[in-house]
Amino acid sequence: MATTEKLNLTIATTHPTTLPWAALLRDYFVPVSSKKIEIIYPSIELEWHQAYGTLYKWQDSLNGLKIGLSDIGWVGSLWESSRLPLQNITYDLPFITDDLSSLLSVMNDLHHDIPAMQRSWLDNDLKFLAATGTDTYHLVTNFPIRTLADLKGKKILAPGAASIWLEGTGATAVNGALTTYYTQLKTGVADGALTILSGAYPFRLHEVAKYVTLVGIGAQFVGALAANIEVWDHLPIPVQEIFVEVALDYSRLSAEAADKRYKESLEALKNEGAIFYTLPLVEKEKWMNSLPPLALNWVDRHEANNLPAQQVLNKLMQGLKTKGAMPVNSWGVDLRDPDK
């Protein structure tokens, strides 16, 4: 008679299931991986304990998983610039692409092909499984924006690594997360936010900041599905393989869901009275030109710590080009066809 092996796993996120990457863990990763394990390995009985936005706060997404409050979970790398230095590359490369699907596919490739990318997670006792990201960033404010100069002297919410996007604009960056933005805007802690519309709408930011300025700062890699390494190492190899397979599908589906949610949120915001404006190309170019050499600074900073930053930058840009998402701003990487 076959012996049944029981696995009890806790999966958690810092954000509720109103956001695509959290909802898909509940609606796709958990049931699909469970079904695959049940069919292929009936001797393994898997029981999940799920906590979405309730187990620990956004600041603790890495620590909560690292210390074992959860076994598998979503980690927001955008708040971990020092502990996940290579992962935050896209936040140092604004205005490269709005194509989230291509961006996440490339980020998954980078983690597979460059050992230092995986090592960043392992150094924090975590196992990287799959990339997640957000639709492109825009401005949601309680004042109208018609030119870049309108940002001068304003306090703008910009999460973690995104604060550098405001350098040169005259605005002051204020830290926070989608879960805190509404209160920060309502109480005057900030005048606006650099944020994603798929998050701005469900968190009702337009109730306290009715102006939406479409900028297109770019889709972003914001974090990943990861596992506590001690838990991971004790999982049967077949279970690990199923989790990796389903996690990559989850990553792809999360990008598709984010794109769909973005379009729905755009329409919902318009229908509920948000005032929209598209920043003119000339003002967007002023913004890009006002920024310091972010990619060069990022490479220099991390190469000084013996990290392969230039390799990561080059492979990211080439990867986007290969997938048909030619970077709007290549940040100094030569993407010309050498045969032409």
CATH number at residue 292: 3.40.190.170
Structure tokens at 40: 């292929």
The alpha carbon of residue 280 and the mean position of all alpha carbons in its chain are separated, in whole angstroms, by 26
192 and 292 share a domain?
A: yes
Domain enclosing residue 259, as ranges: 5-84+99-133+221-263
Report yes or no on 287 lying in a domain.
Answer: yes
Report yes or no on 90 lying in a domain.
Answer: no
Which pLDDT does position 2 carry in this prediction? 54
Report yes or no on 335 lying in a domain.
Answer: no
120 and 65 share a domain?
A: yes
Which pLDDT does position 330 carry in this prediction? 82
304 and 235 share a domain?
A: no
145 and 196 share a domain?
A: yes
286 and 154 share a domain?
A: yes
* DSSP strand pairing (137-141 vs 211-214): antiparallel
What are the start-end ranges of the E strands in 187-311?
Answer: 192-196, 211-214, 220-228, 275-278
125 and 20 share a domain?
A: yes
Report yes or no on 127 lying in a domain.
Answer: yes
**What is the value of pTM for the model shown?**
0.86
104 and 252 share a domain?
A: yes
146 and 237 share a domain?
A: no
Which pLDDT does position 136 carry in this prediction? 94
170 and 57 share a domain?
A: no
**Residue 309 burial (10 A CB sphere; 0-12, 13-18, 19+):** buried
110 and 227 share a domain?
A: yes
Domains contained in the chain, number: 2
Report yes or no on 92 lying in a domain.
Answer: no
Asked if residues 132 and 21 have their Cβ atoms less than 8 Å apart, the reply is yes
230, 225, 236: which is closest to 7 by C-alpha? 236
Backbone φ and ψ for 63, nearest 5 degrees, come out as: -65, -35
Which residues of the chain register pLDDT less than 70?
1-3, 337-340
The alpha carbon of residue 119 and the mean position of all alpha carbons in its chain are separated, in whole angstroms, by 19
Report yes or no on 190 lying in a domain.
Answer: yes
57 and 106 share a domain?
A: yes
65 and 14 share a domain?
A: yes
